[in-house]
Amino acid sequence: MGSDPQVLDVLARADAAGVRPRLGGMARPDGVVIASERFWAFAGRDGSVRVGKQPAQRTGIAGLPLVRGLVRLAGSVTPLLSRRGVAKRRERRLLLLAITVGLLAAVLPGLYGLFIGLGATVAMLALLFRGRTLRLHGAEHRAIAAAEGGQLVRTWAGDVRPSRFAARCGTNFAAIAVPLTLLFEAVWPSAAAVVAPALVPVAALAVSMELWQLVHRPRGRVLRFLLLPGLGLQRITTREPALEDTRVALRATAAVLELELAA
């Protein structure tokens, strides 16, 4: 995926073909990741594009309720944390350290665990949302909305500006998972928490993912109000992107759609 004409050709073919794979994404300080269920692509602000494959969907135990949510959650960070992903080794290690410390904080009693967990969360957010990430986060949402609405070429030209807010944003998931984790910690049997404290956040994440997936299905429409806090938070975690930011996200989108069209 090189020149603008090549990108536009893919975007036009995707619009015409009505290709609508379920897309997600992730903003970085230096670019945007766009991912389908089979492929991911990273487009840098420097014009570079990298592509990769998502982990194969597994059956058996990995398809069971609760377990499947954790598997999907792990797969969503593959473009970031895998060895061939977009994060450099130092950043990958720092992120893994922050995640590990956050989980270990569940072992510590009372306010000690709370403050250490909050510190790890703040450190991870500082790593993820530095630089131009907030504008590229909005661009990521805009590109995905353009793909879902069949407006890729018009969005590239700047003729339309799909919303920078997204129902499937990870901010919305966090707005569900954080209060649910606090609720689990409050009602989890104290004896079980002492024996296996890490089970509390893991169980909360598993239930959050089940609820998250249900909300986005037609039968979960009645639960869509749960997305409102996250949509409100997106006013903080996104900024209105410039056209050049949107085009970075569209380059990544085009790279994924090209693979999907060829598959």
Q: Judge whether 80 lies within some domain.
A: no
Do residues 26 and 114 both lie within one domain? no
Q: 201 is in which domain, residue-wise?
A: 165-237
Q: Judge whether 7 lies within some domain.
A: yes
Helix (H, G, I), strand (E, B) or coil at 45: coil
Do residues 49 and 150 both lie within one domain? yes
Q: How many other C-beta atoms are found inside a 10 Å radius of the C-beta of residue 79?
A: 26
- pLDDT in single tens digits along all 263 residues of the chain: 567 889 999 999 999 988 788 899 999 989 999 999 899 999 999 999 999 988 776 666 767 788 887 888 777 777 777 777 787 777 777 667 766 766 666 666 666 666 766 676 676 667 667 778 999 999 999 999 999 999 999 999 999 999 999 999 988 988 898 888 878 877 776 655 555 566 777 888 889 889 988 998 888 889 899 999 999 989 999 999 999 999 999 999 999 999 999 87
Q: What is the pLDDT of residue 153?
A: 97
Count of structural domains within the chain: 3
Q: Judge whether 32 lies within some domain.
A: yes
Round to whole Å and give the CA distance between 51 and 1: 10
Q: Are residues 180 and 254 in contact, defined by beta-carbon separation less than 8 angstroms?
A: no
Q: What is the pTM of this model?
A: 0.82
Do residues 15 and 141 both lie within one domain? yes
Q: Judge whether 77 lies within some domain.
A: no
